Amino acid sequence: MNNMAAALPNVDPERDIATLQAPPIEVRWLGRANYAATFAEMKRFTQERTPETRDTLWLCEHDAVFTQGLAGKQDHILNAGDIPIEQADRGGQVTYHGPGQVVAYPLLDLRRAGYYVKEYVYRIEEAVLRTLAHFGVTGHRIVGAPGIYVRLDDPFSHARLAPSAQPASATTSAGGLAIDTFAGLGKIAALGIKVSRHCTYHGVALNVAMELEPFSRINPCGYAGLKTVDLSTIGVQTTWDDAAGVLSQKLIAALAP
C-alpha cells in the first residue's frame, strides 16, 4: 500500500488509503418507506448529483401499492380495490409492492461504472440469481421479459428450462411473448429501471414473505395469468433482514465497475 501511495504524485496517502478501502457503493437502509416519497427523493437525488456524487444503494419495503410504468396500459390493472396506484417514470408495466418484499434501488453513474444499460440490467439479474442460489433456489431469465423466474414444480432443481420457455412462437400474449412462455414458472423478482443523464434509479424487487393476493388484481408486468411467488411459498424460510442483506451484498459485487 505504501508503494502504491508513493507512486502517486501530490496525494495525501492517508486520504487515498481511506478511499481505496471504502466500499464502492454506499448502502442506505430506509426500512418501511412510502413509495411516492421515495420515488420523489431518488429522482431528486439523480437530478442533483454531480460526477463526484457517490453511488448509493437504497433498500426498503413499501406499504401496499401498485406502480405503473411509463408505457403501462390501464387495462392491465384488473381490480385495484383499496390499494393505491402510483405513476412512475420507469420502464415496464404495472407491478405490486408490499410488506415482505425487498426493494433495492441502485443509484449509479453508469458512465463512471463503465458499462451500458443492457449490461446493467444483466448485472442486476445476476445479483438476484446469486441471492436465490444462496438460499438453494435456481432462478431463470426469460429473454424479453426482465426479472427472474423459478420453476414451480421444483424451484431447487438445477435443470435448465425447456426450449418452450424461450420465446420463439409467433403466437404471442399481450406482452409480446409466446403464450406458453411462462408455463410452469413463477416470477419471484421484478425489474424496472430509469436512466437519466447516464444515472440510474428505480431498481429491483425480490419477493420474500408477502401477501401475494394483490398480484391477482393485475396482469403482473403486463402478462395475463403470470404467476407470482415468493421465497416463503416455494419453501424457503428466511427473514426480510437476511434476504435484504444477501441481496445487497450480491448487488454491490455485481454492479462494481
- Res. 176 pLDDT band, cuts 50 70 90: low
- The residue annotated as part of the active site, out of 121, 177, 221, 236, is 221
pLDDT (tens digit per residue) in 46-101: 999 999 999 999 999 999 999 999 988 999 999 999 999 999 999 999 999 999 99
Asked whether residue 106 carries a pLDDT value surpassing 60, the answer given is yes
Q: Which of 236, 26, 257, 246 is nearest to 129 (CA)?
A: 246
Would you call 14 helix, strand, or coil by DSSP? Answer: helix
DSSP letters, 83-141, are S-EEE-SSSSS-EEE-TTEEEEEEE-BHHHHT--HHHHHHHHHHHHHHHHHHTTPPEEE
* Confidence band for 160, pLDDT divided at 50, 70 and 90: confident
* pLDDT at residue 62, as a whole number: 98
Looking at the predicted structure, is the pLDDT value of residue 6 above 90?
A: no
- Quick one: pLDDT band at residue 17, thresholds 50, 70, 90? very low
| Dist. CA 251–CA 24, nearest whole Å | 11
Residue with cell 500500500: 1
* 3-class state of residue 152 by DSSP: coil
| 254 touches 123 (CB < 8 A) | yes
Task: Report yes or no: 43 and 16 within 8 Å, Cβ to Cβ.
Answer: no
The contacts of residue 104 (CB under 8 Å, 6+ apart) are: 57, 58, 59, 203, 204, 205, 206, 244, 247, 248, 251
**For this structure, is 221 an active site residue?**
yes
Largest alpha-carbon pair distance within the chain?
65
C-alpha cell at 243: 434476504
Q: Which residues, including other chains, have CB under 8 Å from residue 17's CB and lie 6 or more apart?
A: 1, 5
Burial class of 5 by CB neighbour count within 10 A (0 to 12, 13 to 18, 19+): middle
21, pLDDT greater than 70: no
Q: Given pLDDT bands bounded at 50, 70 and 90, which one contains residue 165?
A: low
- The CA dihedral of 211, 121, 166, 129, to the nearest 10 degrees, is -60
Under the banding of pLDDT at 50, 70 and 90, the label for residue 103 is very high
7-16, 47-56, 150-159: least confidently modelled range: 7-16
Ordered by where they begin, the domains of the chain are 23-254 (3.30.930.10)
Per the model's pLDDT, the better-predicted residue between 12 and 180 turns out to be 180
Q: Output the CA torsion sign for 96, 97, 98, 102.
A: positive
